Structure formats: C-alpha cells, structure tokens
Structure 1
Amino acid sequence: MIDSKASQLSDVDLIVGAALEAGKIALGFFRQSPEVWWKNNGQSPVSAADFAANESLAAALRTARPDYGWLSEETDDDAERLKHATVFVVDPIDGTRGFLSGLDLWCVSVAVVTDGRPVAGVLYAPALGELFVATAGGQALKNGEPISVSQRVGDDINRLATGEEMLKGFDPDFRKTVERVKHVPSLAYRLAMVADGRLEGTIVKRNSHDWDLAAADLILERAGGALVDLSGKALRYNRAEVSHDELCGASAAQLPEFLRQLSNRRDG
C-alpha cells in the first residue's frame, strides 16, 4: 500500500509504486486457479486477481490524486471522468486469458492521461520481472535501461504480431518479408515488444480499449515508434467512447509500409 507520502510523489513515481504493488498481488493468484467470472455476454473472463489488483490500484492512486479522473477495465465507467483534464487509465491485468492459462505474458498497465494523451506510463510484467516506464519528453526504460525500436527496414525480415487471415490480404512480396510471431495474449505487452525491438510491428484488431493501450502507447512513442489509426493519426484517450478501430503499432522506419499494406489489402 502507498503510504501517506504518496501525494508528494511525482506522477510517474506514484504509478510505478502502485503498479509494483498490484503486480505483487496479482502474482499471488498466478497459477493458483483463482475464481473466474464472465463479462461482456460471456465473452471476456475476469478473475479474483483482476479485482484484487484493481482495488489496490484504486486505493493507491485515487487517494493520492483525488482530483484526477479514473478509467479502469474493472471499474464501472463513470462519465464524471470526462470533466477531468487528467485521468488514470488502468488495466489491472492486461492479458487475463493468458494469466488464467498460466502463461507469463501478462502485465499491469497504468497511465496518466492529460488532455487526451498519455504523459506517464508503466507496464509491469511480474511473472517476467520486467518493468517498462516512460514519461512525455523522456526516454522509454525497461528495468531502468533505455530501450528503442528495431531499425530494420526495406527487405529485412519483419517480425509482426498479426493474425494469419490479415497476412493473406497483403502484397505477396511483402508477405515474404514477414515472420509472424506466436500470439501474445497481452496487447499492452505486445506493444512493449515493439518498443524494445523484439517486434517490428503489431496490428491491433477493432475494439481495443483505452486501458489496453494508453501506457504502452507512450512507451512505444518514447522508444521511437508510434501507435496510430489506419490514417496515421495518434490516438486520443478519455473520450466518451473508449474503444478504438483497427490500429497499427510499429517502429518509425516500418510504419509507413505497414500502413500502406493495411490500406491496400485485399479480402482473404
């Protein structure tokens, strides 16, 4: 639990501490068969671990910054957040399906969003011992060390996280350059893999949400990449509608080509 001095911390130090504590709590449920419920008409699982991590984050962050709005996957949305210029955008466990399957590719995602864009972001993957941190104007860090996107260009092999059906619509010559990676259940962690150069890009299907994206968006940006819609525009957060259309996250070098392939693709 964050102590009474939390209100004196910088936003980034506050969310780092909160994410570390929430990750510790979630890790206590990992591979322990936590209780599971289903939401979104039975489409999405949520576990006791998600709720416990969410409670920890809310207690730490909302107490320290009562003037900030709040948007979390595991808290009923309140339009009151739209009145706040600055909000916390939180996913207590991004990659719940993987978490419940015993896979270690899940993370706690916490962002501070001001005027629609993230200004501080943290991803903590406790099962992997990885902590990603970024602030607007600063470097993206992984376990305290600077990270940067891949510099592969042109005909180099592109390690791309996307569905097989998506690849079928791309130009045949481009498909030859693509090495499709095994599915990563956490979208936020997938974007972090682009940020630290393990992937050149990922294509995000429709209906991702602010809490999946905000922290990873900033980390990717500060590592030299971008997360954009298919027109190439940066995302806006803390809108009335928190879901997004199809997106692409990539290194700056490869983003234009990926967007061209997405715009020109053929069905099937």
Structure 2
Amino acid sequence: MSDIEAAGWQCDLDLIADAAKQAGAVALSFFHQSPEVWWKNEGRSPVSAADFAANETLGSILMPARPEYGWLSEETDDDPVRLERETVFVVDPIDGTRGFLAGMPTWCVSVAVVRNGRPVAGVLYAPALDELYLAQVHGPALKNGVEISVSNAGEHAIQRLATAEEMLTGFEPGFRKTVERVKHVPSLAYRLAMVADGRLEGTLVKRDSHDWDLAAADLILERAGGALVDLAGDRLIYNRPSVSHGELCGAPVAHMPAFLHQLSYRRDS
C-alpha cells in the first residue's frame, strides 16, 4: 500500500473517530433515561431509541463525507449495493445494547472502514467510560492516545478468559485449571478491546456474531499484537453476502495455538 493510501486511512480514521464521538454523545444522552425499546430477531434482541439516534448521527456524518463507500449497520436495512463497493463503513451504533439498557457502562460505538474484506481503520468509543480505542492498518492501537498491547503473560500463567461457561466444559482438565473466567461483558467489541489492552488473555465467541460487532475491534486487536480468527485459524473476511460468523477466538498471537488446540479438542471429544 502506498504512502498516499496510508495517509488516506488516517484521514478516514480521523473521520470515523469524530463520528463515533458524536454518536456516543447522542447515545449517552439516553443512558439511564429508560429509552423506548423494541425487539427484533423474533424477540431475542433489544433495540432502543438510543441505537436509532446514534445510527442516524453516524450516517449523517459518514455518508456525505464518503458517498462512494458502502454502508453496513446493525440498525439499517441491508443494502446489497455494499457488495459492489471496495470500501464500506461497518458500524454498530451501540454494541452491548442489553448492558446499555441495564445501566452497565461497558457499551461502545463501533465504526470501521473495511476495504476488500478487511478493516483498514477502526474506532471503539465507550462514552460512559470515557475510553476511545482506535487503529489504522499502518499504525499502533491506541487507547485515549496511548499505545496499547496485548498481554505478555506466559503460557503457564492464569489465563483471564471471557467466554460462556459451556464453552470451557470440553477443554482438557489441565488447561481448565489455568483459566480464570471473567464476568460477562455484554459488548463483544468491548471484550475484544479488553484483550487488545491486556486486561484479558482471550475471548471465545459463540457462533452468530456479525460484521458490525467485530470489524473495528478486529483491527484494534491486530494492531495491538493479537488476532481474531475462526476455528481453522483464519482471519475474518467482512462485507460478504452473509455477515454472520461461526465460533471465533480473539487472543494474543502468542496464545492463539493453545486456545485453538483446546477448541479443537472440545469439538472432537
């Protein structure tokens, strides 16, 4: 990639960071205010007036600035034209809506620029915590302007892992003894940010996560020395006709082989 393209991604990063902060301020104005709630996916997933308001803010800033880009958002009807675009905005106006509605602060606005299937700029903004994570494909991962990196704990240290209890039950007994399962964090994007800044050694993700949950956090984790992969160890491709994914693992690159081995062991046992 040329220096001109790299500079362009920094310009896009600046753009989406500003949009995420503005959308975060809008969402924060609804926090603890009991916004109106609807249910989607046959009543399994809540969406609130805050989600829609933040989504409108993102769209009103980003699309006029880059009209040639496609658009993929959890709260907008899917437009198949995105598949014809090399570059796409992938956004989740509030990742962790259940936590948001319950008054938990660990929710965030997630915005990514995806080019040819991979994120090249990504922002996570957690306004209730005053935390801004960002990265572009040629730079470091930053949290509130300070470079972050994944945990450097040794392979025999206690592994702080964010995952459902049932995902651990099939692991080898010896490995399970090294795992400290952390309290549930409703926002998947924020869990991946916790891996990126070293508060967790990993997170295991159930099937049916979506592009908008993952794209920005994927890049931030990558630039911090980690990876988000499927059970074959392959990095994810975004902006496909299907935007859902199977089981995934996010972890420091150095820890990934051990986690993938345990996931394979669980699957085969």
TM-score bracket for the superposition, by shorter chain length: over 0.9
In 2: Cα distance, 1:266 partner to 1:69 partner: 37
Shift of 1:267: 8.3
CA contact (8 A) 1:169 1:267 kept: no
Answering whether residue 147 of structure 2 is matched by residue 146 of structure 1, we say yes
In 2: Cα distance, 1:34 partner to 1:57 partner: 19
Shift of 1:166: 1.3
In 2: Cα distance, 1:41 partner to 1:168 partner: 29
In 1: Cα distance, 2:268 partner to 2:255 partner: 22
Answering whether residue 158 of structure 2 is matched by residue 157 of structure 1, we say yes
In 2: Cα distance, 1:112 partner to 1:85 partner: 10
Partner residue, 2:219? 218
How do 1:140-219 and structure 2 match up within 5 A?
140-219=141-220
Query: Residues 28 and 263 from structure 1, CA distance in 2 versus in 1: closer, same or farther, beyond 3 angstroms?
Result: same
Helix, strand or coil: the match of 2:75?
coil
In 1: Cα distance, 2:229 partner to 2:138 partner: 19
Shift of 1:252: 1.2
Percent identity, please.
74
Partner residue, 2:22? 21
Shift of 1:167: 1.1
Partner residue, 2:229? 228
Partner residue, 1:81? 82
Q: Deviations over 1:82-106 (max 9, x none)?
A: 0000000000000000000000000
Partner residue, 2:125? 124
Q: Deviations over 1:140-195 (max 9, x none)?
A: 00000000000112210000001111111000000010000000000000000000
Helix, strand or coil: the match of 2:92?
strand
In 2: Cα distance, 1:264 partner to 1:171 partner: 7
In 1: Cα distance, 2:28 partner to 2:196 partner: 24
In 1: Cα distance, 2:99 partner to 2:249 partner: 22
CA contact (8 A) 1:191 1:217 kept: yes
Residue type at the aligned position of 2:97: T
In 2: Cα distance, 1:101 partner to 1:20 partner: 22
Answering whether residue 32 of structure 2 is matched by residue 51 of structure 1, we say no
CA contact (8 A) 1:229 1:248 kept: yes
Residue type at the aligned position of 2:212: W
Partner residue, 2:240? 239
Shift of 1:266: 5.8
In 2: Cα distance, 1:167 partner to 1:42 partner: 28
Helix, strand or coil: the match of 1:265?
helix
Helix, strand or coil: the match of 1:55?
helix
Residue type at the aligned position of 1:48: A
CA contact (8 A) 1:140 1:222 kept: yes
Structure 2 length as normaliser, TM-score?
A: 0.95
Partner residue, 1:41? 42
Q: Which region of structure 1 is more displaced relative to structure 2, 212-221 or 248-257? A: 248-257
Partner residue, 1:4? none
Unaligned runs of 5+ in 1: 1-6
What stretches of structure 1 move > 6 A for 4+ residues in a row?
A: none
In 1: Cα distance, 2:86 partner to 2:64 partner: 18
Helix, strand or coil: the match of 1:42?
coil
Partner residue, 1:248? 249
Residue type at the aligned position of 1:191: L
Q: What RMSD, in angstroms, separates the aligned Cα atoms of the two structures?
A: 1.3
Structure 1 length as normaliser, TM-score?
A: 0.96
Helix, strand or coil: the match of 1:254?
helix
CA contact (8 A) 1:152 1:253 kept: no
Unaligned runs of 5+ in 2: 1-7
In 1: Cα distance, 2:35 partner to 2:84 partner: 36
Query: Residues 59 and 169 from structure 1, CA distance in 2 versus in 1: closer, same or farther, beyond 3 angstroms?
Result: same
